[in-house]
Amino acid sequence: MIKVAVFGALGRMGRETVSAIRADEDLELTWAVDVEARDEGLTVLTDDVVETRVTGSVESLQSDLPDVMVDFTRAEEAVRNVLWSLDKGIHCVVGTTGIGEDDLGLIRARAGEGTANAIIAANFAIGAVLMMRFSEAAARYFDMCEVIELHHRKKLDSPSGTAIATAQRIAAVIDPEGPSPSREDSVEGARGGSVGPVRIHSVRLDGLVAHQEVIFGSTGQTLSIRHDTTDRSCFMPGVLMAVKVIADIPGLTIGLEPVLDL
Ligand code: NAD
């Protein structure tokens, strides 16, 4: 039985993760941590689950250490949670997006010390991982590419971590000297932001969950590769898979591909 802690347990992804862990017979939920927890006692997480301990401070959780923590919080908070956990020998599965390069360096160094491992994945949906892989493959054969990512309006970071990761992978393959579009923007930002030669456009609307379309263009043809998330449960198979194998993947792993053996 793997003991698991969830950080951000009262958030949208945290609640989904708590439910998924509780439903998995190989996993035991030991802590549910959230800064929004009002007290140190029992908190109702779902209609039928009342016995999970929810606490706002990890300092009060020194006993019954978990084997693995899952973090779905906010970038700067996640870094603190992860460094604290690695120090305690707790493996980390991190879905929180927006963690910067400097912080990744800190986590890489700490995970490299050998006491605990970490995986940071901008997207745990297996379909999204395949979308990135297929996009990287297509980039060799097309001249131009733009990414449109669409999310619910409460998403904090723009563009999404998945869009940045996708664009970086395409930019590493696509010809940087390819054709450039004519430029005359009458509305600032109309052409989105750039990761190398790849443009990213972020849409934020109620009614959306998480969606991304990668559009490649070349003479006389386009190719669209699209992934749609219609429910947050889609992230859970990837999260549970990572929780179960993280002890065997030394150091810091970025992305879900090594877990999926892609
Ligand atoms: P949310 O705002 O609904 O939830 C975040 C929760 O974290 C809140 O309940 C907040 O109180 C809590 N929190 C903040 N600081 C904390 C701390 N130090 N310790 C414990 N809890 C803390 O956000 P969300 O929609 O659940 O998304 C969370 C993160 O996950 C975001 O970065 C989002 O981009 C990312 N995300 C990743 C994936 C993926 O597959 N990797 C999928 C969806 C969302």
Ligand 1 touching residue 166 (CB < 6 A): no
pLDDT higher than threshold 90 for residue 50: no
Per-residue H/E/C for the chain: CEEEEEECCCCHHHHHHHHHHHCCCCEEEEEEECCCCCCCCECCCECCECCCEEECCHHHCCCCCCCEEEECCCHHHHHHHHHHHHHCCCEEEECCCCCCHHHHHHHHHHHCCCCCCEEECCCCCHHHHHHHHHHHHHHHHCCEEEEEEEECCCCCCCCCHHHHHHHHHHHCCCCCCCCCCCCCCCCCCCCCEEECCEEEEEEECCCCCEEEEEEEEECCEEEEEEEEECCHHHHHHHHHHHHHHHHHCCCEEECCHHHHCC
What contacts 77, CB < 8 A, 6 or more positions away?
Answer: 7, 8, 35, 96
Residue found under tokens 């090594």? 258
The reply to whether ligand 1 has any atom less than 6 angstroms from the CB of 33 is yes
What does the pLDDT look like over 102-158, one tens digit per residue?
A: 999 999 999 989 899 999 998 999 999 999 999 999 999 999 999 999 999 999 889
- Distance in Å, CA 74 to ligand 1 centroid: 5
Checking if the pLDDT of 46 tops 60, the result is no
Of 29-38, 65-74, 105-114, the one with minimum mean pLDDT is 29-38
Q: What is the pLDDT of residue 62?
A: 65
- Report whether residue 256 contacts ligand 1, using a CB cutoff of 6 Å: no
- Report which of 107, 219, 197 is spatially closest to residue 145, judged by C-alpha positions: 197
**Residue 81, token pair as written in the block:** 């949670």
Report the pLDDT averaged over residues 177-189. 83
**Average pLDDT for residues 6-10, to the nearest whole number?**
89
Q: How far apart are CA 216 and CA 221, in angstroms?
A: 8
* Nearest alpha carbon to residue 120 among 131, 110, 130: 110
Q: How high is the pLDDT of residue 61?
A: 62
Q: Is the peptide bond before 159 cis (omega within 30 degrees of 0)?
A: yes
Residue 250's CB is within 10 A of a number of other CB atoms, namely 12
Residue 177 pLDDT grade (very low, low, confident, very high; cuts 50, 70, 90): confident
Average pLDDT over residues 206-210: 94
Closest C-alpha among 162, 163, 217 to residue 192? 163
Q: What is the pLDDT of residue 10?
A: 85
Quick one: pLDDT at residue 45?
Answer: 43
Locate tokens 């039928």: which residue? 48
Q: How far apart are CA 186 and CA 153, in angstroms?
A: 25
Atom number, ligand 1, closest to the C-alpha of residue 94: 41
pLDDT score of 72 more than 90: yes
At residue 154, the pLDDT reads 93
Residue 183's pLDDT band (cuts 50, 70, 90): confident
Ligand 1: nearest atom to the Cα of 81: 18
pLDDT more than 90, % of the chain: 70
Is the CB of residue 159 below 6 angstroms from any atom belonging to ligand 1?
no
Given the residues 91, 155, 201, 227, select the one marked as catalytic. 155
- AA identity, residue 153: R
CA–centroid distance, 7 to ligand 1, in Å, is 8
Q: Tell me how far apart the alpha carbons of residues 95 and 74 are, in angstroms, rounded to a whole number.
A: 10
Point out the ligand 1 atom lying closest to the alpha carbon of residue 210: 43
pLDDT tens across 232-258, in order?
Answer: 999 999 999 999 999 999 999 999 999
User: What is the atom index within ligand 1 of the atom nearest the CA of 161?
Assistant: 34
- Using CA atoms of 135, 137, 143, 147 in order, give the dihedral in degrees to the nearest 10: 10
The whole-number pLDDT of residue 147 equals 98
Instruction: pLDDT band for 63, please (50, 70, 90 cuts).
Output: low
State the catalytic residue, choosing from 151, 152, 211, 244: 151
* Residues 209-234, mean pLDDT to the nearest whole number: 96
Question: Quick check: is 154 catalytic?
Answer: no
211 noted as active-site residue? no
Task: Look at residue 48 in the predicted model and tell me its pLDDT.
Answer: 40
Q: Is 117 close to ligand 1, i.e. is its CB under 6 Å away?
A: no
Q: Is the CB of 95 inside a 6 Å radius of any atom of ligand 1?
A: yes
- Which token pair is 61? 């959780």
The reported pLDDT for the residue numbered 175 is 87
Residue 42: pLDDT band (50, 70, 90) is very low
